[in-house]
Structure 1
Amino acid sequence: MGRHREYDVEEVLDAALCVFWRKGYEGTSYADLTAAAGVERPALYSAFGNKEAMFRQVLARYHERYMNHIPEALALPTSREVAAHLLYSSLEMNTRYPDRTGCLGINGAVAGADESEPVRQALIEFRAAGEMQLRERFERAKAEGDLPPSAKPDALAAFLMAVLHGMALQAKAGFSRDMLKGVADQALSTWPGSTSAP
């Protein structure tokens, strides 16, 4: 019986994250994963189970390593500062790595085959959790008087997420950082109660 090659599971997960981020769930094959990770397919099965299970671990790792700007933003004192921090830190992250632009949560599964529906649902839940955090933060801002009484926290959260998702898609399509900053500036210029320029 042959000796099994030893490998670092953490390094394999990082390599898989980069591939899924670049190619999305549907676009990533086992050949892509084995080539990036430098391990054979049976080793991937042994360590992670199937492709979906590996993607779920990658998504958790992405959240842990690349989404720290979300709790930072939620802790800021005003709703406008929350929005600004999210917009500008997201545009930085969406363009930081030339080989994997955009956002894994968006690139992962904009569309997919029927058999990938569980992954699509996991990504919907991933994005919905972020929107819920924003809605709760904006409800607090309204209660504290930071947002005007006419503000709609649920619509503000949905608006901000729509802009963030759009910026991620534009980054993936090659839009420049300057153009994305212009989008962020424009979104902030419409913020309720906003009297200062971004």
Structure 2
Amino acid sequence: MAGRPREFDRSVALEKARDLFWARGYEGVSMSDLVAVLGIASARIYAAFGSKEALFREAIELYEAKEGGFADRALSGAKDIHSALGDMFRAAIELYTPGRRGCMVVSAGTNCAQENAAVGAWLSEHRRARTQSIIDRLREAKQSGEIPDDVDESALGDCCATMLHGLSVQARDGVGADRLNAMVDAFLAAFDLMTTKRRRRDRASVRNSIRR
């Protein structure tokens, strides 16, 4: 008489799947890989998660709710914009560099076969949403007077997002935390120089108009 199938913890299985997709990407993980890592039959994986794609999407959502939520945490609250951006970049480096993991949303579906194009498009939406969240935070800083009115927050937000996603690529390539942090230092120095010069110029214009 055959024994009953071994029970499994769905949340643990999802975490294992997340780590596997994070390391190898969507295309790099087969159903046999999932069977081996999760330790359950493919029929039970389908019963629990629906499909490989559904499992992947749920794994991405888990990543964003936990490890990948660092950006939302950094951008929220009452911190000044310099500190918010710095915290976001530093947290990214801390997450991305161990094991050369990078960002799961950036690396897990960069190149997808035609039949998996929907997965790549879905991840692109997530990356665009991250860019927009940075732009929104910069706009708040502009409205509060931290950033001068003539700064293009959309262009600056695009630069910040490129920096953030670039840190992921560099980390996957094996660039160490020291070099990545030095890169952040340079970026933030340029950010401060640009906004400080603009603020000084604005104050000088006000003084000159008063003198006239």
Q: Fold-level match, TM-score > 0.5? A: yes
Partner in structure 2 of residue 158 of structure 1: 158
The alpha-carbon deviation at position 85 of structure 1 amounts to: 0.9
Whether 1:85 and 2:87 are equivalent positions in the alignment is yes
Q: Quickly say closer, same or farther: Cα 1:194–1:183, change in 2 above 3 A.
A: farther
Q: 1:23-42 maps to which residues of 2 (within 5 A)?
A: 23-42=24-43
The alpha-carbon deviation at position 43 of structure 1 amounts to: 1.1
Q: Quickly say closer, same or farther: Cα 1:76–1:21, change in 2 above 3 A.
A: farther
Q: TM-score, normalised by structure 2?
A: 0.86
- CA distance in 2 between partners of 1:178 and 1:34 (Å): 38
Amino acid at match of 1:64: A
- Structure 2, unmatched stretches of 5+, are 198-212
Partner in structure 1 of residue 200 of structure 2: none
The answer on whether the counterparts of 1:135 and 1:154 sit within 8 Å (CA) in structure 2 is yes
- CA distance in 2 between partners of 1:194 and 1:60 (Å): 38
Partner in structure 1 of residue 174 of structure 2: 174
The alpha-carbon deviation at position 4 of structure 1 amounts to: 2.0
The alpha-carbon deviation at position 76 of structure 1 amounts to: 4.1
SS at match of 1:190: helix
SS at match of 1:105: helix
The answer on whether the counterparts of 1:95 and 1:171 sit within 8 Å (CA) in structure 2 is yes
Q: 1:42-121 maps to which residues of 2 (within 5 A)?
A: 42-74=43-75, 75-96=77-98, 98=99, 101-121=101-121
What count of residue pairs does the alignment treat as equivalent? 193
- Alignment RMSD: 1.5
The answer on whether the counterparts of 2:63 and 2:69 sit within 8 Å (CA) in structure 1 is no
Q: TM-score, normalised by structure 1?
A: 0.92
The alpha-carbon deviation at position 67 of structure 1 amounts to: 2.5
SS at match of 2:195: coil
Amino acid at match of 1:89: A
SS at match of 2:27: helix
SS at match of 1:27: coil
Partner in structure 1 of residue 136 of structure 2: 136
- CA distance in 1 between partners of 2:184 and 2:29 (Å): 30
Q: Quickly say closer, same or farther: Cα 1:126–1:72, change in 2 above 3 A.
A: same
- CA distance in 2 between partners of 1:77 and 1:90 (Å): 18
- CA distance in 1 between partners of 2:15 and 2:44 (Å): 15
- CA distance in 1 between partners of 2:53 and 2:32 (Å): 15
- CA distance in 2 between partners of 1:36 and 1:183 (Å): 36
Stretches (4+) displaced over 6 A: none
SS at match of 2:58: helix
Deviations 1:12-70 (A, max 9, x none): 10000000000011111112211111111111111111111001100110011112322
Percentage identity across paired residues of the two chains: 31
The alpha-carbon deviation at position 152 of structure 1 amounts to: 1.1
Q: Which has the greater radius of gyration?
A: 2
- Structure 1, unmatched stretches of 5+, are none
Deviations 1:137-181 (A, max 9, x none): 111111111012221111111111101111101111111111111
